[in-house]
Chain A
Amino acid sequence: NAGVTQTPKFQVLKTGQSMTLQCAQDMNHEYMSWYRQDPGMGLRLIHYSVGAGITDQGEVPNGYNVSRSTTEDFPLRLLSAAPSQTSVYFCASSYRLQGSSGANVLTFGAGSRLTVL
């Protein structure tokens, strides 16, 4: 199993450009999510999805779009990149443990480092 695969690993954009960060998982996980990691701020949730066709906003959704047309894929779109979106982006997916009242153990991708000039 590949787990959670993110592409690209590195990307440099100019302000105003758009791009899509790809995320795919092969574990048949229902739940997928995107976080950004910034120094001193931990991981902040951007968007998440509890299944195909269902998405919702996290803590910092502005400037980002997502869709979930299949169970496997959860792309993150930057509509018009800004320097404030310079960050490391992590995709994560999860299953629910049996008998754990919804415990949500995340499997993370390797991350995508984005620089916006």
Chain B
Amino acid sequence: AQSVSQHNHHVILSEAASLELGCNYSYGGTVNLFWYVQYPGQHLQLLLKYFSGDPLVKGIKGFEAEFIKSKFSFNLRKPSVQWSDTAEYFCAVNERGYQKVTFGTGTKLQVIP
């Protein structure tokens, strides 16, 4: 069964610091990859997605992620975080041809003004 690992459970950064959140998945076949974000008191929404093509994908609010197939990774990055980026971030994987989506355990990001 596929699984998704997010090793950083809680990250605290100052505004303008750079961000990188790790995501690794276990499935060796072809997958679609996602990052979702949950702002305080809100429901989850899509941040960005990868399913083919350029392994560097850009999402909303200046976020980007890079798919490295050899490392089974899909790390999320942002050059300069803002206080409004305080949220919980979830990596998710979907095996091609199937509709089940498996989520990681999430990373809580706290940005200090």
Q: Using a CB–CB distance below 8 Å, which chain A residues touch chain B?
A: 31, 33, 35, 40-45, 48, 50, 58, 90, 92, 94, 96-97, 100-106, 108-111
Contact B46 A45 (CB under 8 A): no
- Do the beta carbons of A102 and B46 come within 8 Å of each other? no
The reply on B17 being an interface residue by CB < 8 A is: no
A41 to chain B, nearest CB (A): 6
Q: If A42-B90, A97-B51, A106-B46 touch, does A35 touch B103 (CB 8 Å cutoff)?
A: yes
Q: What is the bound-complex CA distance between A103 and B93, given in angstroms?
A: 10
Q: Is B105 an interface residue (CB 8 A)?
A: yes
Indicate the member of B6, B42, B43, B103 with the most A CB atoms within 10 Å.
B43
Other A-B contacts than A41-B105, A43-B106, A90-B44, 19 sampled, CB-CB below 8 A, are A31-B99, A40-B105, A43-B44, A44-B103, A92-B101, A94-B101, A100-B51, A101-B96, A102-B32, A103-B51, A103-B94, A104-B94, A105-B34, A105-B46, A106-B34, A106-B44, A106-B46, A108-B44, A109-B43
The B interface, classified by DSSP as helix, strand, loop or mixed, is loop
Instruction: Evaluate contact between B99 and A100: CB separation under 8 angstroms.
Output: no
Q: Does B73 belong to the interface (CB within 8 Å)?
A: no
Determine if B46 and A40 form an interchain contact, defined as CB atoms under 8 angstroms apart: no
The CA-CA distance from A104 to B49 in the complex, in Å, is 10
